[in-house]
Amino acid sequence: MPETLGFIGLGKLGSAIATNLLAAKFPLRVYNRTPEKAKSLIENGAVLSHTPQEAALPGGILISVVSDDRALQEISSEQVLSALGPGGLHVSMSTVSPETSRRLAEQHGRGGVSFLAAPVFGRPEAAAARKLWICNSGPADAKKRARPIFDAISQGIFDFGEDVGAANVVKLAGNFLLTAAIEAMAEASALAEKNGIPRADLLNMFTSTLFNCPIYANYGKRLIDADFENAGFTIPLILKDMRLVQQTAFQSQSPMPLANLFCDRYLTLLAKGKANLDASALALGAAEDAGLKW
């Protein structure tokens, strides 16, 4: 029988991952700030923890999928680290800054706990279908120990070495790339429509030829359908990621003019009261600038 896992963070992504771990026979001790979200997991055999530390077993594995650096910091409390203790492993799947991962790894290490950064690529639908991609970085033995967990929830794992912050940089770079794809499709679509060409004709051609890959196909379809309400990945979350890109770019002296533009696009959406829309609503910026209604 697989070992019991602690699991913290039952948002859309976390819930999908936890469900697949249960299906793969991992006994789970789950914690979420709003315990209602644990309901269906409990019905399927998970044990509800009332505090983060209750989810952690001595020398065990704790997985966290939380929304930002602050939440990750909060659940990495002294109580949680004491509960895990020597031989414990914290697998951090959240999208956070590389600096946070490096600082937490050091803090965990003082208590004999390993810290592995393992952010994932994939929207909640992909997580539910076990189609996530995982990039990890940190201690080699931690990666080896976490491998059966990753195999149960993903379609592939990429290793970025011993620097625990590296996987976070890669994750941020990936979210930046997908945002760039949306902005580029949006500007091209606006240009097409202002010239009498339906954006569906333009995007269907490109996403079936030169750009026939998941990001362009999925987000291209959202642009065509103006499907921005059905938010798997909301604007405050993607804006948080773009700010982490800017912050990491700043700290490493790597100017990123596109990232700056994307932050402004998302800020405008917030300013217009559209925080509940999907990340793909970035496209509304180029459309509205061109006087189009999507």
Active site residues: 171
d(CA 116, CA 186): 36
First to last CA, the chain: 52
Report which secondary-structure segment, H or E, holds 89.
Answer: strand 89-92
d(CA 23, CA 21): 5
- Of 212 and 276, nearer to a copy of itself (C-beta) is 212
- Of 48 and 292, nearer to a copy of itself (C-beta) is 292
Least Å distance between CB 98 and a copy of itself?
Answer: 6
Structure tokens of 61? 């594995």
- Please calculate the CA angle 236-241-243 and round it to the nearest 5 degrees: 90
Number of other residues whose CB lies within 10 A of the CB of residue 263: 18
Least Å distance between CB 147 and a copy of itself?
Answer: 17
Least Å distance between CB 231 and a copy of itself?
Answer: 19
Please report, as a single letter, which amino acid is at residue 186: A
Least Å distance between CB 22 and a copy of itself?
Answer: 26
- Of 53 and 248, nearer to a copy of itself (C-beta) is 248
- Of 61 and 104, nearer to a copy of itself (C-beta) is 104
d(CA 188, CA 120): 29
Least Å distance between CB 163 and a copy of itself?
Answer: 6
Concatenated DSSP letters of 228-276: -SS-SSBHHHHHHHHHHHHHHHHHTT---HHHHHHHHHHHHHHHTT-TT
Look at residues 123, 152, 150 and name the one whose alpha carbon lies nearest to residue 138: 150
Positions touching a copy of itself (CB under 8 A) are 98, 121, 133, 135, 156, 158, 160-161, 163, 165-166, 169-170, 172-174, 176-178, 180-181, 183-185, 187-188, 190-192, 194-197, 201-202, 205-206, 209-216, 245, 248-249, 252-259, 261, 286, 289-291
Tell me if 69 sits within 8 A of 91, measured CB to CB: no
- Of 8 and 245, nearer to a copy of itself (C-beta) is 245
Least Å distance between CB 261 and a copy of itself?
Answer: 6
Structure tokens of 52? 């983060």
Report which secondary-structure segment, H or E, holds 124.
Answer: helix 124-128
- Of 62 and 132, nearer to a copy of itself (C-beta) is 132
d(CA 76, CA 116): 13
Length of the chain: 294
